[in-house]
Amino acid sequence: MSYSVLYQDIGVKSYKEAWDFQENVFRKIINRKTGLQESNPAAGPAQPGVLILVEHPHVYTLGKSGSENNLLIDHIQLQARDAEFFRTNRGGDVTYHGPGQIVAYPIFDLEEIGIGLREYIGRLEEAVIVTLGSFGISASRIKGATGVWLNAEQGKRPMKICAIGVRASKYVTMHGFAFNVNTDLTYFDYINPCGYTDKGVTSLEKELGGKQDIEHVKLLVKQNLREVFDLKWIN
């Protein structure tokens, strides 16, 4: 059975604004779910999920198990580059968000979908892999390294094009993935992306040799998320 989801493209928002927005939706879904289970375990329907797409101004975020040593500049240098820094409650290490990057925050009830967290992450990766395939780009996974990678199977230096970091409570997810489309990759020079020192980063723009229509890419991402999760848009 399809999972009902409200789709919201909220444009360009600061990281804190988007985080607060997520938290509000996340709590509503959990509270609704908990209330139904306590009053009547067979009650329904559940609160619909929400898929948020957003672009952020320059910001570095660090996962709850990450090391601040992987941020290679201090706070004064951050200000000089017009960037913010946040410690978050997602998994993973340090990453960068900025203009030209599609950031997706699916707030889904995995219990309603009928999958676990590992499969959830795998389906997020699959949606991006299929999207890249639409541009003739072959992408894949790397064992033990969450995200979507290029060059992973050619014996070359792996290049990450999409980072993933999620949180889940009571099977409800938040945070998500960051897909480099027209991203300024020089901002990754100031971190060890996701804690790796032996891997690089890339973007759709870099791989195709020119700026891409980010709205078109968003549409493909939305369509492919719908397919891999069997979503039903309710708006």
Categorise residue 205: left if φ over 0, alpha if ψ from -120 to 50, beta otherwise.
alpha
Question: Is there a catalytic annotation at residue 194?
Answer: yes
Given 194, 214, 220, 231, which residue is catalytic?
Answer: 194
Using only C-alpha atoms, what is the Rg of the chain?
18
Catalytic residues: 194
